[in-house]
Structure 1
Amino acid sequence: MATPAPLIEVHGTSSERGQQYGEAARDRIRLGIGHYQAQLGLSALTEADIHALVHRFLPVIAAFDGDYIPEMQGIARGAGVAFEDIVMLNARTEILKLGLKQGRPAADDDMECTGLVVTGEAAADGRLIHAQNWDWKVECAETAVVLKIRRDEGPDILTFTEAGGLARSGFNAAGIAITANYLQSDRDYRQTGVPLALIRRKVLQQDNLAHAMHAVYATPKSASNNMIVSHPAGIVIDFECAPDETFQVHPDGGILAHANHWQSPVALSKLKDTGIAATPDSLYRDLRVRSLLVPHRGRITCDTVKAALFDDFQSPRAVCRPPCLTLAGTMTATVAMVLMTPALGTMEVAMLPASDRTFTRYQLAMDAAAFQGTAEGQALRAAE
């Protein structure tokens, strides 16, 4: 049986929250740092080399949000590790790729995910469901946490992330949710942009959907990424992000599914998808999810979504992936299935779901004022 991701709750100033986080997740943070240092070491990078890569991002991070530096310093202090190692965890997508470019040649590891959103029009109870399978290294099942952030300056946040990370998948008390999955293009790594994990955190800090979407749409990035932003009122936009330009994909009949290839015709007319060669199963994973959901349109429940994400067609290269070796010789799997119903303030997570279908439920108190004028707002006020 996989170990559930522990819940860590923090509050106070950014520095105080960071220290509480670092202390509570110390062992998992150190495990994650060791894992990525070892991976970068395969490219002949020393600890000094890794820290030099990290320092490229510090001015960009500080300009993006001044609170992130003291928060990461607090995490480092609480966990008893180097500050640069916490920044590495929050920029690990970028650091891993830059490390490979700087070190000896190595085969890329698969970085796959399948995300989906079912809006109220397609759901049985009229409540939006936002979910994802996170495919990555098997070892990360032991470094994952669910972080609950109590904030005085904005909505509270519930996020599933790697220990030491400021955010990954999650939603906030205003109902704004985000998941993200890997994309590649021929525009990647021509500039130093804001690390992707910190853009997701920025989204989750917003109490206004427009501001959340601005953080995705307008923030310069180092690499391509797909970010799905939703709100329980039925607003869903899939942002296919190149480092310097953003494209949109919208739900069809209340259902949106996205794997690891570009879908926007506008995007495909302007850039080259360089990721399909490493992740060819992406081409059918989103098709499988849609085909399993469409017959239930109007009657889709959380169990329907789970069934779609458990799909094992063409296993191990499936929507739900058991442990298997990549071309680089790394063991990867669907590390976690994350299912969110923001109107209810619930997140369900199953670790290594191909072998263990046990879900752990996490709860966040929602702000009824954020849902004013919607059915969700009426339900929340009735429950108060």
Structure 2
Amino acid sequence: MRILELPSGKPPRDWGRIHGESYRTEIKAISEIRTYLCTKVGGFQNVDDVLEAGHAHLPVLEAYHQGLHAELLGIAEGADVSPEEIVVLNHYTDLRDLDADPSKWRPAPTRDAPKAFHTGEGITRDDALGGGDGCSVLWSESPTGRILAQTWDMHATAIPYVMVLRVPESPAGPAATLLSVTGCLGMAGMNTAKVGVAINNLFSTDATLGVVWPAMVRRALHERNAVAAREVIAASPIGSGHHYFVADRSNAFAIETSGTRRKMVFAGGRTYCHTNHCLDSEIAERSKVPTTSTTHDRLKWLEVDLARAQVRDLDDAWRRLGSIDGWPRSICTNMSTPEQPHGTATCGAIAMNLDSGELWAQQGFIHNVAAERWKL
């Protein structure tokens, strides 16, 4: 698995250039894959339309956080691709939910907006091309510490590009280690203040023009406690559906979002799990579950397994993330085929102990695969 350690003392634009130059070939490849998939899984008719949507998100990111905007531009410069292509690479799961008609684009609200207009229809998704993807998140107050862990399930063609990104301490916030893909600002991780963030995708029918979501993950990890990280998410212009879990050594919160709504669905407890359908009925009204999704199977398995036995430690959590019980509708899965190479698969996983500062991560199918390990 690739690991990129960004140097301390450098500005965000330089971080981005280093990232882009380090993985230029890989970034070009995955940006092409994700742009293509937006024309197949999403509602866009051609590449130009996808890039137009990517362009519309750039000023949102610049207004949201200049440093992360500069880092994204630096990635584009280093990889010799356009900023729009890097937006598509980062924001793929939200971008594909957006209506292809620019006249229907609306700016994302920065608070829960129950009266915001939406058609209730959303785009039509081709599930066979990775549209039914998702992730499984588990939380447990174990005897060895508070554990937050997740799989990252996506189009199987993303597996070669999974990496770990290590961001140094800077004036923006503490150092952080994140599961990512080449060219991405980061998807889930933990900082040295022992704040952790995990994510699941939700399929919204009310997608808006919002902040590139990995930038919001990075912004939340600038904070030194979970309450502040939760407030970052609650006040961000979120473009489409996700479930965000933030925790530290004292607090834990889960927030479900759509393109216009956000609701807290968990505020502490010994165990919790989430997959890719909404627990909150109001968020569910603005969401869909793809027909091929295994979300209900995975949630049931996690609930039964967490009730069966408490998570003991990171090794125990890692084994559960790698479970193939009920294959292929299992926690660790592979729905891709030679005919459908972009089908959903477990592309990687991350597990964090927020008390000890241990972080485990790995790319690909993690069943019986050892994690790479760090101590923050």
Q: TM range, normalised to the smaller chain?
A: 0.7 to 0.9
Deviations 1:164-212 (A, max 9, x none): 11120101111111111111344x22x3222222211111111243321
CA distance in 1, matches of 2:338, 2:242: 21
SS at match of 1:6: strand
Q: Secondary structure at the match of 2:95?
A: helix
Deviation at 1:9, TM superposition (A): 2.8
Q: Is the 8 A contact 1:57 1:194 kept in 2?
A: yes
Task: Name the counterpart of 1:178.
Answer: 197
User: What's the counterpart of residue 331 of structure 2?
Assistant: 319
- Residue 159 of structure 2 aligns with which residue? 141
**Is residue 25 of structure 2 the alignment partner of residue 27 of structure 1?**
yes
1:25-71 CA-partner distances (Å, limit 9, x unpaired): 22321221121133245477444333211121122111111122221
Structure 1 329/337 Cα, relative in aligned 2: closer, same or farther at 3 Å?
closer
Q: Which amino acid aligns with 1:57?
A: H
Contact 1:144 1:163 in 2 (8 A): yes
State the identity %.
22
Q: What is the aligned partner in structure 1 of residue 80 from structure 2?
A: 80
Task: Choose which of 131, 139, 142 in structure 2 pairs with 1:117.
Answer: 139
- Aligned residue pairs, count: 349
- Would you say the 8 A contact 2:358–2:373 is kept in 1? yes
Who is 2:214 aligned against?
197
Deviations 1:212-269 (A, max 9, x none): 1111112232212100111023x111111123332222277511100111113xxx15
| 2:291 alignment partner, one of 273, 278, 288 | 278
How is 1:348-367 mapped onto 2 (pairs within 5 angstroms)? 348-353=360-365, 357-364=369-376
Scaled by the length of structure 2, what TM-score is found?
Answer: 0.84
SS at structure 2 position matched to 1:16:
helix
* In structure 2, distance between residues paired with 1:198 and 1:225: 14
Tell me, what secondary structure is at the counterpart of 2:5? strand
Distance 1:305 1:326, change over 3 A: farther
Task: Compare 304-313 and 174-183 and name the one that shifted more.
Answer: 304-313
Instruction: Tell me if structure 2 keeps the 8 A contact 1:232–1:343.
Output: yes
Pick aligned residue for 1:129 from 147, 150, 156: 147
Equivalence for 1:238: 254
Are 2:271 and 1:255 equivalent residues in the alignment? yes
Contact 1:336–1:349 (CA under 8 A) maintained in structure 2: yes
Cα distance, 1:273–1:54 mapped onto 2, change above 3 Å = closer
Aligned residue number for residue 340 of structure 1 = 352
Please give the per-residue CA displacement for 1:139-184, whole angstroms capped at 9, x wherever unaligned: 2111111111113212011111111111201011111111111113
1:263/1:279 CA distance change after superposition, 3 Å: farther
Contact 1:260–1:279, Cα closer than 8 Å, also in 2: no
Output the CA distance in 1 between the equivalents of 2:35 and 2:204: 26
Kept after mapping to 1: 8 A contact 2:322/2:368: no
For the pair 1:220 / 2:237, whether they are aligned, the reply is yes
Q: Distance in 1 between matches of 2:48 and 2:294?
A: 37
Instruction: Return the letter of the residue paired with 2:264.
Output: Q
Partners of 2:64 and 2:6 in 1: CA distance: 24
Q: For residue 218 of structure 2, what is the amino acid of its counterpart?
A: R
Match of 1:98 in 2: 98
Distance between the aligned counterparts of 2:100 and 2:339, measured in 1?
15
CA RMSD of aligned residues (A): 2.7
Are the equivalent residues in 2 in contact too, given 1:325–1:332 (CA < 8 A)? no
1:306 is displaced (CA, Å) by 2.0
Q: Which residue identity is paired with 1:178?
A: V
Unpaired runs of 5+ residues, structure 1, are 365-384
